[in-house]
Amino acid sequence: MGKFQLITKGLIKENPTFVLLLGMCPTLATTTSAINGMSMGLATLFVLVLSNMAISLTAPYIPDKVRIPSYIVIIATFVTLLQFVMQAYVPDIYETLGLFIPLIVVNCIVLGRAEAFANKNGVLDSALDGLGIGLGFTCSLTVLGLVREILGSGSAFGFKFIEGDGILAFVLAPGAFLALGYLIVIFKKLTSKKAE
Amino acid sequence: MDKLLVSPSPHLHTKTSTKSLMRDVVIALLPAVVVSVLFYGWSELLVLGVSVASCVLLEYLITKYLLKGACTIGDWSAVITGVLLALNLPATTPWWVVFIGAVVAIGVAKMTFGGLGQNLFNPAIVGRVFLLISFPTYMTDWTKPQGFICNALADGYTGATPLGIAKEGGVAAVEGLDYMDMLFFNIGGSAGELSAIALLLGFAYLLIRRVIRPYITLSILATVAVFSGIFWAINPAEYTDPLFNLLTGGLLLGSIFMATDYVTSPMSNWGGVIFGVGIGLITMLIRYFGAYPEGVSFAILIMNSVVPLINKWCHTKKYGR
């Protein structure tokens, strides 16, 4: 697998949201607007790249039996770092995402990549893998957030284009499930056509 | 002998078909439709027309162009969904809100799951609940539009449904309401909440034509009566009485026409009773203690989701065992 493919596979073939259906909790909960979705995606991307690199470096020294707790400690370190950085420089987004920032620690995408890829591959490959999957996650969350924002509040990236409210259900939890479900349908339709 | 058909039993044939059953339900809905149009006038006709037309049109378009399969609008089920959706909305609902409701009912709740027979939830209620949480301002606007026949009694009470008044002001606020009003032309509410008599007429027709069995409807009504009866007996100053709860809101419409939907209700009679008791309980819990004044649609949706479980518990015994 080429270096370039490591990045692109996370976008389409192994898209964490639309294909692997991983990390559903932040996906459904934080995508009330395009900005929120994108910042959640970028936050995860940051943790994913750094923790993948750290884990691929330390994997040979970690005993097999305690590897999951060790990974979690490593991931938690980067999440704490991210939390302080966000609190300092983007306090608004930090406030909106709230609990979901610390919850990146238990995000199954991060742990999944550590277990499935980083602990048996080199540093550069792991970083690229983290970047690819992270970008895929960011793109899907932005698209989902955008769809929900357009339908739910009649705006895109914060710019309002209709007066008043949209279809409020899309800002609430049921709309998250509906939008995600139909986006998966469209994504499957598009990618299956390409494969033929 | 290539015309010999071999099929599994039963070999009995009846004239009943999906189409004839569904047409009977539409006929049973007619009294309620007529009453609502008489009292709410042109705006109600518009809601009904938009709702039915868009439900049928959407089903046609989806089956023809999206699924590219057989067209299923001939079975009348889309018409029922359209009528029920319209009866569940205030007569003042703008046409585009009704259209969105039809998109959700037919597109999301029915066709996404595979069309009639596969849908887990009642399409009309999904449409209504979606609109209720999406457009709370339109969906709770009960101002009474000009009807074809005026009713002087109702004029004093426009603005909120009896259940809404009871939620806001407690039992004392609804003391002046006359039960005969509710029986014949209810005071404010969705079109289908208007007249208990019209709905009961439809119920009688469905029973006589053997379209539905009475277990689900009766167990819902009995549960509501018993539950509210107990609370009312304990503290009549705090809780509304059983008759009020039976006659107001969407209870009759829901229990007669929506909870009894073949696809989304349990198959056996005992299953139907469990289903009905569940709906009655959840409805009353929402009415007495919930944030919304009315809970029939939520109750039916919640119980719809456990129907597969109920079917698992209440197997009909295999013949001969």
pLDDT at B154: 46
pLDDT at B157: 43
pLDDT at B65: 84
Q: Do A169 and B136 touch (CB under 8 A)?
A: no
Q: For the CA atoms of A74, A79, A81, A85, what is the dihedral angle to 10 degrees?
A: 160
pLDDT at B49: 92
What percent of chain A shows pLDDT beyond 90?
Answer: 41
Mean pLDDT confidence for B231-237: 85
Higher confidence at residue B134 or residue B169?
B134
HSE-up (13 A, CA, CB side) for residue B67: 17
Using an 8 Å CB-CB cutoff, list chain A residues near B130: 169, 174
Q: Do B133 and A174 touch (CB under 8 A)?
A: yes
Specify the pairing of strand A159-160 against strand A155-156: antiparallel
Q: What's chain A's average pLDDT?
A: 88
pLDDT at B275: 92
Would the pLDDT of A9 be above 90?
Answer: no
- Cβ(A124)–Cβ(A58) below 8 Å: no
pLDDT tens digits, residue range A59-101? 889 998 999 999 999 999 999 999 999 999 999 989 888 888 9
- Minimum distance, in Å, between the CA of residue A10 and any CA atom of chain B: 28
- Sequence-distant (6+) residues with CB within 8 A of B285 are B295
Report residue B186's pLDDT band, with 50, 70 and 90 as the boundaries: low
pLDDT tens digits, residue range A132-147? 999 999 999 999 999 9
Q: Do B133 and A178 touch (CB under 8 A)?
A: no
Report residue B278's pLDDT band, with 50, 70 and 90 as the boundaries: very high
pLDDT at A142: 93
Supply the pTM of this predicted model. Answer: 0.84
Using an 8 Å CB-CB cutoff, list chain B residues near A167: 100, 134-135
Task: Give me B71's structure tokens.
Answer: 């067209």
Mean pLDDT confidence for A106-114: 89
- Cβ(B145)–Cβ(B91) below 8 Å: yes
What percent of chain B shows pLDDT beyond 70?
Answer: 82
Report residue A40's pLDDT band, with 50, 70 and 90 as the boundaries: very high
Q: How far apart are CA A155 and CA A162, in angstroms?
A: 7
* Closest residue of chain A to B130, computed from CA coordinates: A169
Mean pLDDT confidence for B69-89: 85
Q: Do A169 and B100 touch (CB under 8 A)?
A: no
Q: Sign (positive/negative) of CA torsion A100, A103, A105, A111?
A: negative
Mean pLDDT confidence for A168-186: 90
pLDDT tens digits, residue range B112-167? 888 888 888 999 999 999 998 888 877 776 666 555 555 444 444 445 566 766 66
Higher confidence at residue A35 or residue B9?
A35
Using an 8 Å CB-CB cutoff, list chain A residues near B133: 168-169, 172, 174
Say whether the ipTM exceeds 0.90.
no
